[in-house]
Amino acid sequence: MKNRRGLIRIILPWLLVLLMLSSLMSVFRNQGATSQLTYSGFVSTIKEETVTEVELSPKAYVVEVTGEYTASKEGKETKTTFKTLVPNTDQEIDSLMQLLEDRDIKITVHNSENDNLVLSFLMQIIPYAILIGLMFFVFRNLNGAGGNAKAFEFGNSRAKLEKDEKTRFTDVAGADEEKEELTELVAFLKNPKRFADMGAKIPRGVLLVGPPGTGKTLLARAVAGEANVPFYSISGSEFVEMFVGVGAGRVRDMFKNAKENAPCIIFIDEIDAVGRQRGSGIGGGHDEREQTLNQLLVEMDGFSGNEGIIILAATNRADVLDPALLRPGRFDRQIMVSNPDKKARAEILRVHARNKRFAPDVNFDNVAQRTPGFSGAELANVLNEAALLAVRMNHQVITLEDVDEAIDRVIGGPAKKSRQYTEHERTLVAYHESGHAIIGLTLEHANQVQKVTIVPRGNAGGYNLMTPKEETYFQTKTQLMATVTGYMGGRVAEEVFFGDVSSGAHNDIEQATRIARMMVTELGMSDLGPIKYDSGENAVFLGRDYSQINNTHSGQIAFEIDQQVRKIIDTCYDQATDIITENKDKLEIIAKALLEHETLNREQIQSLYENGVMPEKYDGTKPHIDQPPYQRPNPIDMDEDLLDEMK
């Protein structure tokens, strides 16, 4: 639809020009209209009207006679041009000359043979010239607009060249180790002789692997910006077309252009679109994709070599790439770009907060604590949503409530305040969510509640953000048991206070059962011992391992696994019941506050638990004047010579 509109915008002006030209030609024809007379009419005109001069144009078989006479009509004189044809014979010519001499009319003889030849030639050539010119301009405009009509550039590279990249390492926060690995590339691009003297070869290719939004593209741009070299960027899907051989041609053209601008960086985003394993899958491979991959392999490590060209690639699935692509000599180095931890999230938030104003109660360390598992892109989206909410609410600064609401929007979407619940349902949801909060506040290793709300979002009637007290790489059995106990808190609170249970604990039961089964079948945290009973990999990728996914244990073991899962769930359920029974008064305080305010954050829940009252609320009118200005992070610790080169 977009291309069609662009084509209409290009062709429509030319159609209007042609219409205007045709209108002008018709006007000129009307203004210069000539009256065609018969010979008898010509004789009558000569005798009756005032004719002073005629022009004779002899041709092969006739003589063209043209002239002009003046006629009076209603007191006005009008000039009329006439034309007639006389046979080119001696008798007719003599008769014509005698008539003109009798009327004393001046005779002019004009040889039009040469003029007719030129005019005839021009009249035949001009239409074709106009048509060719129109087609030339249309195709040129289509190509300049970047449409799909690039018929003559179909095999050219689609890589975009950027020669003045502004991104620097200081714009990338929370990825110190990743930046340290990429610093060598910057030093090589700025001073390759130093590495050559030592006999070292810089990696030809670096593969950035990690979840979406973790900053892989940003890191690649930072490398190009620090080294101040040309930066080619392209997506893996832009190589592959319907026609076999086009992708390979684009790869050749891309490397040809890169050699002309070496040293430079080629960044291929989502390389798994073209670099997947060859010959895998139930339906076979794709010839075009495999030929493109083969050409990419040859260009990266072929006979000619590509000195001065460093290839950076990004993917979310390194396990699906072809082994030939990952071997040394092509992608020598893989850098894992994972989701940031708490400290890294706080740094990322400070980077994105440089141009925003925040209230005094906004603590980025606390915000980082409330956003476990968030990527850098999601954190940037959180602060942007918070700024939009502050403008919508006419706040002078971004308050803590704006940030909390922004986190909820990123996780579950906007609140559905129009959805109506009965008073009993609201009370049930409030006590359910308060049960989770009490477990987190009381049990040592349980997840803490960062945010509780009874405002529905998505398909959930309430929302409870629970995060671990400390982010660790490993989890002990005690921590996992405490997590399951926290999930049971809402169900237990319903049973203790209402003597009934609802379907609101559906997701809690699902998550608790998943953790308990994982403890038994994969982690060996049960009476069955340290034995792995389940592969845990039930996803089929392109038909690979399709027949190998099956359970190898007996029916008796399956029964015992179910028994152990039930034992873990029952133990955690009993523990949650004891905790909630002992803290019924505090749970009621939190539940009543939820019914009144609908949403509570961590500070408010902590104050209700310890003091029984809500903390003072910031009014959102005074800017935060004591907040220190943002400080750029220190450079990465590295060799002093490398630091000098970076500066």
Whether 92 is catalytic: no
Residue position matching structure tokens 């998505």? 458
Catalytic residue among 378, 433, 494, 645: 433
CB 506 within 8 A of CB 459: no
Residue 300 buriedness (CB in 10 A; 0-12 / 13-18 / 19+) = buried
**Close Cβ partners of 104 (under 8 Å, ≥ 6 residues apart):** none
For residue 205, which of 265, 292, 121 has the smallest C-alpha distance?
Answer: 265
CA gap 325, 300 in Å, rounded: 9
State how far the Cα of 377 lies from the Cα of 411, in Å rounded to an integer: 13
H or E element in which residue 505 lies: none
CA 142-148-151 angle, to 5 degrees, is: 75
As a whole number of angstroms, the distance between CA 102 and CA 100 comes to 5
Residue 227's nearest CA partner among 268, 256, 192, 178 is 192
Are 311 and 299 in contact by the 8 Å Cβ rule? The answer is: no
User: In 3-state terms, what secondary structure has residue 604?
Assistant: helix
DSSP, collapsed to helix, strand or coil, labels residue 605 as helix
Q: How far apart are the first and last CA of the chain?
A: 49
Question: What's the CA gap between 51 and 24, in Å, rounded?
Answer: 30
Number of C-beta neighbours around residue 36 at 10 A: 10
Q: Coil, strand, or helix at residue 312?
A: strand
3-state secondary structure 78-142: EEEEEEEEEECCHHHHHHHHHHHHHCCCEEEECCCHHHHHHHHHHHHHHHHHHHHHHHHHHHHHH
| Structure letter (DSSP) for residue 467 | E
HEC profile for 158-224?
CCEEECCCCCCHHHCCCCHHHHHHHHHHHHHHHCHHHHHHCCCCCCCEEEEECCCCCCHHHHHHHHH
Q: How far apart are CA 280 and CA 32, in angstroms?
A: 78
| Residues annotated catalytic, as ranges | 433
